[in-house]
Structure 1
Amino acid sequence: MNFIDKLERKYGRFAIRNLTVYILVAYAIGYLTYAINPDMYLLLTMDAEAIFENGQVWRLVTWICTMPQNLNIFIIFMFMFFYWIGSVLESTWGSFKYNLFIFSGMFFMTLGSLVIYFITYFVGPSSAIGGISIPINTYYINLTLFLAFAMIYGEQQVYFMLILPVKVKWLAILDLLLIAYDFFNAGNIVNFYRHIANEGVVAYLSLYVWCYRITIVISILNFIIFYFVFRKSKQLSPKASQTRKKFKKDSAKIRPQTAVHKCEICGKTNLDDDTLVFRYCSKCEGNHEYCQDHLFTHEHIKS
């Protein structure tokens, strides 16, 4: 039994079921806020400087409502896909492990943003003008969820762009390549300004790029941890999920049923006929129960 299993045994009852639905509701709130009042939407985003300097601590939570991408028809289909893979993962892992995966990703991203700002506020070329606040959003939450899905259901076939059939593992590899591209391509901005800006600006941009790269790694840290913890484990496999469901179903079948109501005259119970009505007789002394056929025809019991 690993550490996560011990946590589940102790705190599993607190897991939020159907967590994916709540995340999608948070996304909807973000899109709606942006459409109604873009300035108010900016107050939802993660901004370490605003948290430390202005005490806007709500941003530690409300950034979850920020938009992973601009809304369009393709994004709507992506959210439908996100709901599907989230529901499948929760069914496969169980609600607690799914909750832990999602919330640990959010926690690492939030903590990473705060630590980066705090360190750069006091150290390096940025300390003269303030710390570096790297913006984070829910894009990487969706991405790590898909990578986790691919880790288990890599052979599952889906329709890319709703047209092209492709296995999930190839899409996951494509996502990893895009992450690598973002990681290495971030330095291009430094190369662009190297010959037209002074050394202070270049040094600041170089530090910003490395902070951004660190944020990318932190954003997928929950997936990395889950991968190494469960890579050799069979308990998170689809087969294990089916076994758990079958066990629960079989247990329900063999669980003996106990009658709640029983007629003292004919002996019928609510298990014999669920349409029968049972009542206690108010004219009998003591607690005596009868079915609808004998409630008014029995001989009243007197002490």
Structure 2
Amino acid sequence: MHWMDKLERKLGRYAVPHMMYVVTGIMLAVFAANLVLGGIVSPMLFFHRGLILQGQVWRIITFIFLPPSTSVLWIAFSLYFYCLMGNALESAWGTFRFNLFYLCGVAGSILAGFITGTGVNHFLNMSLFFAYAAVYPENQIMLFFFLPIKVKWLAAANALYFLYMFVVGGWTARAAILFSLLNIWLFFGGDLFRHIRQQAGYWKTRRQFRKNNRF
């Protein structure tokens, strides 16, 4: 990715270290504010195209920081894994590239919101599972803090969930799924297509070999 190297040389100094700490910290603050103020904070932050066009432009970005749940246990579990995966990817790629990965997903989520009228951050944050599994497929994590499972199987379950939501969900969910995965295609699409071409070439060569060696 030579273009990414050039971009990093120009903009790398602006990268935010440990970005997921910042994202999850704001999510936690919003969650706490909702508890204290009776849930009035989140409605002021969610993405709504009509309200944005009326001047509430902060909603373009604030929906990214909406907490994934109203449950204390699920919040702790979710934010812990966001940080775990984000820090691992940042360690593997460097701060700038991880920033770029996450921000591309943010841009996709915003685009999906303008197309459908409503934006969600759910699929953006879950896209971290795919990237983490691509980089560390054999890593084992403790699901719900006690159940050991390899990351690649967790990503497979995540993919099934995405597929299910794409089939049964509305257009908001479908657009969010497609556009929030822009980061995955940007970082892993080339490798995926090369793998597909290699496999296709392998099977073509194998069929040709069998054809030429028939008696």
TM-score range, shorter chain: 0.7 to 0.9
Partner of 2:178: 217
Structure index of larger Rg: 1
RMSD: 2.0
Unaligned stretches of 5+ residues in structure 1: 118-132, 187-208, 234-303
Partner of 1:144: 127
The CA distance in 2 between the partners of 1:12 and 1:229, in whole Å, is 23
The CA distance in 2 between the partners of 1:69 and 1:223, in whole Å, is 24
**CA positional deviation for 1:140:** 2.0
The CA distance in 1 between the partners of 2:192 and 2:94, in whole Å, is 17
Overall identity of the aligned pairs, in %: 33
Q: Is the 1:154–1:168 contact (alpha carbons within 8 Å) kept by the matching residues of 2?
A: yes
The CA distance in 1 between the partners of 2:56 and 2:137, in whole Å, is 42
- Trace 1:282-301 onto structure 2 (pairs within 5 A): none
The CA distance in 2 between the partners of 1:27 and 1:229, in whole Å, is 33
Give the SS at the match of 1:159: strand
Q: Is the 1:105–1:219 contact (alpha carbons within 8 Å) kept by the matching residues of 2?
A: yes
The CA distance in 2 between the partners of 1:172 and 1:7, in whole Å, is 29
Give the SS at the match of 1:39: coil
- Trace 1:42-57 onto structure 2 (pairs within 5 A): 42-52=43-53, 54-57=54-57
Q: Deviations over 1:28-74 (max 9, x none)?
A: 1221232233233211111111011x210011121122122223224
**CA positional deviation for 1:221:** 1.8
The CA distance in 1 between the partners of 2:181 and 2:32, in whole Å, is 27
Mean alpha-carbon deviation: is it higher for 143-152 or for 66-75?
Answer: 66-75
Give the SS at the match of 2:149: strand
Q: Is the 2:15–2:99 contact (alpha carbons within 8 Å) kept by the matching residues of 1?
A: yes
Unaligned stretches of 5+ residues in structure 2: 195-215
The CA distance in 2 between the partners of 1:170 and 1:26, in whole Å, is 30
Give the SS at the match of 1:166: strand
**CA positional deviation for 1:231:** 5.4
- Trace 1:1-303 onto structure 2 (pairs within 5 A): 1-37=1-37, 38-52=39-53, 54-114=54-114, 116-117=115-116, 133-137=117-121, 139-186=122-169, 209-229=170-190
Q: Using CA pairs below 8 Å that are at least 6 residues apart, which structure has the higher relative contact order? A: 2
Q: Deviations over 1:98-134 (max 9, x none)?
A: 00011111111112211x15xxxxxxxxxxxxxxx22
Change (3 A) 1:87 1:211: closer
**CA positional deviation for 1:142:** 2.1
Q: What TM-score, normalized by structure 2, do the two folds share?
A: 0.82
More helix by share: 2
Q: Is the 2:139–2:150 contact (alpha carbons within 8 Å) kept by the matching residues of 1?
A: yes
Q: Is the 2:109–2:124 contact (alpha carbons within 8 Å) kept by the matching residues of 1?
A: no
Give the SS at the match of 2:137: coil
- Count residues with an aligned counterpart: 193
The CA distance in 2 between the partners of 1:211 and 1:164, in whole Å, is 33
